A and B are shown apart, each in its own frame.
Chain A
Amino acid sequence: AQKITQTQPGMFVQEKEAVTLDCTYDTSDPSYGLFWYKQPSSGEMIFLIYQGSYDQQNATEGRYSLNFQKARKSANLVISASQLGDSAMYFCAIHALRSNDYKLSFGAGTTVTVRA
């Protein structure tokens, strides 16, 4: 079984500044994948970035980067140069990388509000 913990229920960030969202995980699987999704008020879950447990380098995708610390079981998301459109709920999720078990386990999410 996998478990995700997101301890920050809400965060405020000034436009153009960077923000770090915390995510810690627990899993007994040796291979796993970590995902971050964005959920605006419209409700749709938007895929942002992926990190595999076997990846040697931290994932980056545009303004999103992942601070992956395997020994600490953390996968924090960094959003650089925040924009007003970044205001949303952000979810960290994990799945095991084994056959027929790709279901995602999500954390409770962190609400980000970007101030002008």
Chain B
Amino acid sequence: DTGVSQNPRHKITKRGQNVTFRCDPISEHNRLYWYRQTLGQGPEFLTYFQNEAQLEKSRLLSDRFSAERPKGSFSTLEIQRTEQGDSAMYLCASSLGAGVTDTQYFGPGTRLTVL
């Protein structure tokens, strides 16, 4: 399977714990995006990388959130001191980063539940 993969698919944690999600983009895609989707809503942009550089962060990304993409390959999204409001689906997408269209292809998401 050469699509975007995300792990874990589901994560249940207690309030105050730290969690880390991983995203493996489609190989040779140099842009990688993180979005958050709450129930009944469309995804909201969190941050994106061009290769290993984090080029933009949304205001939604509080100080408790950090994302990395070492070596421009896979990416991790960490949430520290989780809160119940962090419960959501976290979606990762990648794009080739070339051409006008630059379609983003999404992974299956990681569903986080904070108890």
Contacts and interface: CB of A to CB of B under 8 A. Distances in A.
B109 A109 contact: no
Contacts of B29: none
Contacts of B91: 45
Contacts of B95: 102
Contacts of A42: 108
Contacts of A50: 101, 103
Size band of the A side of the interface? 20 to 34
A52 B44 CA distance: 21
A102 B48 contact: yes
11 contacts: A43-B111, A44-B108, A47-B104, A47-B106, A50-B101, A91-B43, A104-B43, A105-B45, A106-B42, A106-B43, A109-B42
Interface of A: 4, 33, 35, 37, 42-47, 50, 52, 91, 93, 95, 97, 100-109
Interface of B: 31, 33, 35, 40-45, 48, 50, 55-56, 89, 91, 93, 95, 100-109, 111
Given A43-B111, A91-B43, A102-B104, 20 more contacts: A35-B104, A44-B107, A45-B93, A47-B105, A47-B106, A50-B101, A93-B42, A95-B102, A100-B50, A100-B56, A101-B56, A102-B95, A102-B102, A103-B48, A104-B33, A104-B45, A105-B45, A107-B42, A108-B41, A108-B42
